[in-house]
Structure 1
Amino acid sequence: MLVEICSSSIESVIMANKVNADRIELCSNMNIGGLTPSMGLIELALKESKIPIHCLIRPREGHFIYDKYEFKTIISDILKIRKLGVKGIVVGTITDDFEINTKQLDLIINKANGLDITFHRAFDCLKFPKKAIEKLSSMGVTRILTSGGKESAIKGINKLIKWKSISKQLIEIQPGGGINEHNVQNFIDNKFKSIHLSGCKSEKWNKLLPDEIDKTFYDQEIKKINYKSIKKVMSLVKSN
């Protein structure tokens, strides 16, 4: 089974390489589910990484129903990111009827021009997942990143197993959401091709601050990679 690590910093990229992860999903703002990374972060990550990098394409936080300006941003980012040398993109777009926005996705695939395509957890917001699996497969999407429609992949594992069976290996079902060293064996045992995890922990500024300064920004959490956690996951996966 392959392990994809979600990374939002160069430190995380370096650690993912250190534990011999199989792939990186690069993003920013992981505390709101991830947004499109900056061009600077992508360029430096590509220099530091020996393993393939896929970039999240998500222009803002919140739902996955995009207006024409947000969609133009998505396309512009794809065109720029493709030139930098990433191996794939992670993207998702739906309609206000909670179905795949096939018009937008078709243009995304066209502009990606051969990049590997993962349809992300927008899939968990779709009304008819079985129909969506068939449609995404027919459109040429490589994999679907999903938690099984639940807040975590372990809670959605029964759906994930069902969807893997439905997909008939025409499209990969990739579990993601809350996977860690304590539950990864469930996904190994059920023979998923790959898993997705962040392996991160939240940190806050822990030093004394002067009374005169605005402390608002120091109260915000920063997502930092948990090296011990991802190393343990890799050990469990590769020993099976």
Structure 2
Amino acid sequence: MKIEICSDSIESVIIANNIGVDSIELCSCLSVGGVTPSIGLIKDAINISDAPINCLIRPREGHFIYNDKEFDTIINDIKYAIKFGVKGIVIGVLNGDFKININQLSKIAEVSQDVGITFHRAFDNIVDSKEAIDILESFGVNRILSSGKANTAIKGIENLIDWKNYNSNILIQPGGGINKESALIFKNNGFESIHLSGTEKEKWSGYIPKSIEKTFLNQTLRRPSVMKIKSVVDVAKKN
């Protein structure tokens, strides 16, 4: 079973490569579910990574219903990411009725013909999952990242198995709260790939002068955990 790590820093990219993951989803700001990474992060990650880089394209946090200006940003970011050498893009675009925005998906597919396309966990906000799978396949999307419409993938495993069996032409990749125990369950159920961040929370623990404003120091960081990532990789690669 293959492992993809979601990385939002060069530190995480280096750790993922050292442990031997199969691919990396590159983003920024994991604390909000990830947004489009900076140009500098994309370039540096591609330069140092042996594992292929799939780039998240998400212009902001929050819902996946984008206006025309936001969508222009999405298209521009896709073009730049492909120009820099990413192997795939990770996207999700919906309408207000919680179905796929076919017009936007069509334009994304048009500019992404040379790379893989993953539809991310916006899929878990779609009302008719099997209809969506058929639509995504028709536009050349080769992978769906999903928690099975649950807050963790293991809780959504019945849906994930159902979708995997429904259409063998598109890869269903479980993601959301994956650990070594759930990784084994997904492996035993025939999933080809899983997705995780493998992070742990970290807060500033150093000295804070009384005279400074503390908003940013009080924010929680998500740091990559070698132990968490390695434990899942070991399960996935064990014969």
Q: Could you tell me the TM-score, scaled by structure 2's length? A: 0.99
**Runs of 4+ deviating beyond 6 Å:** none
Counterpart in the other structure of 2:37: 37
Distance 2:113 2:72 in 1: 17
Deviation at 1:154, TM superposition (A): 0.5
Counterpart in the other structure of 1:221: 220
Could you report, residue by residue, the CA deviation over 1:55-97 in whole angstroms, capped at 9, with x for unpaired residues? 0000011110000000000001011111000100000101111
Code of the aligned partner of 2:226: Y
Deviation at 1:198, TM superposition (A): 0.3
Counterpart in the other structure of 1:202: 201
Distance 2:83 2:236 in 1: 33
Counterpart in the other structure of 1:230: 229
SS of alignment partner, residue 21 of structure 1: coil
Could you report, residue by residue, the CA deviation over 1:156-205 in whole angstroms, capped at 9, with x for unpaired residues? 001100110001x1101110000012321110100101000000011010
Deviation at 1:213, TM superposition (A): 1.1
Counterpart in the other structure of 2:156: 156
Counterpart in the other structure of 2:58: 58
Counterpart in the other structure of 2:187: 188
Q: Percent identity?
A: 53
SS of alignment partner, residue 124 of structure 1: helix
Q: Could you tell me the TM-score, scaled by structure 1's length? A: 0.98
SS of alignment partner, residue 11 of structure 1: helix
Counterpart in the other structure of 2:74: 74
Aligned residues: 239
Which structure 2 segments of 5+ residues have no match? none
Distance 2:182 2:79 in 1: 37
Code of the aligned partner of 1:37: P
Computed over aligned residues only, the root mean square deviation of the Cα atoms, in angstroms, reads 0.7
SS of alignment partner, residue 213 of structure 1: coil
Q: Work out whether 1:135 is the aligned partner of 2:135.
A: yes
Distance 2:106 2:140 in 1: 10
Code of the aligned partner of 2:205: N
Counterpart in the other structure of 1:86: 86
